[in-house]
Amino acid sequence: MRQINLREVAREQRQANPDLYSPDLDRRYKAAINVHRTSLGKKWPLGCSGAANAFLALIGPSMGGAIRGETVGRGGASRPYRHSMDIGRDVMSFDWGDQRITRWTRLCSAMLGGERYVSALTALLNLDWRHSTNERDIPTQELLTGFDGYVWPLLGQIRPRIVSPLTNLVWDTMLSKVEPLRVSFSVCPVPLPREPIIFRSPGSDFNTMLIKPHNHPSRHFLTNHMISDVGRACEWFLNQAN
């Protein structure tokens, strides 16, 4: 299996402009939009997209259903690489030609504290690259392989402050990697389906929060009230961490 190796590229970016990976949201945002749109010279594995220095990384199980005319991803091994990894304004879009854009954008806006941050500082990373509307159809081993071989290495390079598994199955898949990295932190005062985990990635000099929304943002069961609670939890974490 081909491994992601962006260590040198990310190091060069941080050395040239450390604010691109700053733990401070506004510093990272200002640095990102000031570089306009810059390619890292590497490509995303299929099923992953967005900002290569995302402050917020959403983690999904797979790419969902294929849109009309789209080549159907089969998932599993031999994951292809497609779109370039970019930093800058408007590198993330949830416009899949339907109404989902509203709920996805609203969730990201609440988690980041403002809609202006969403298109420049959000990434969507899927554990598998098949088109499937039911995560239970994806073999557990393929979810684990996708996380270990693709998504976890990407998180080490993107350096997000907020990581959000979008389903219980994704949370459970990530837990064995994240739990040993947990750091002591006050308990989140906002009641959520799963208590957020504050952890520190290997080689990182700041803490990151693992937080799960009540429901997947493609489902209408994720209400505005739920989104508001997730946003308040993210605000609490960033205020405490800073």
Taking the whole predicted model, whether its pTM rises above 0.75 is answered as: yes
Separation CA 5–CA 120 (nearest Å):
23
Q: Tens digits of per-residue pLDDT, 198-230? A: 999 998 999 999 999 999 998 889 999 999 999
Domain 7-241, classified CATH 3.30.200.20, yes or no: no
Report angle CA 217, 218, 222 to the nearest 5 degrees.
45
**What does the block give as tokens for 96?**
């899949």
**Helix 100-112, helix 224-241: angle, nearest 10:** 30
Mean local confidence (pLDDT), 38-50? 93
Whether the CB-CB separation of 89 and 32 falls below 8 Å is answered with: yes
Separation CA 200–CA 209 (nearest Å):
9
Report angle CA 96, 100, 106 to the nearest 5 degrees.
120
Amino acid at 112: L
Q: Tens digits of per-residue pLDDT, 131-153? A: 776 777 788 898 999 999 999 99
Q: What is the pLDDT of residue 4?
A: 45
Q: Tens digits of per-residue pLDDT, 166-194? A: 999 999 999 999 999 999 999 999 999 99
Q: What is the pLDDT of residue 73?
A: 60
Separation CA 65–CA 218 (nearest Å):
11
Phi-psi label, residue 201: left if phi above 0, alpha if psi -120 to 50, beta otherwise = beta
**What does the block give as tokens for 154?**
């990407």
- Residue percentage of the chain with pLDDT more than 70: 87
Separation CA 36–CA 112 (nearest Å):
20
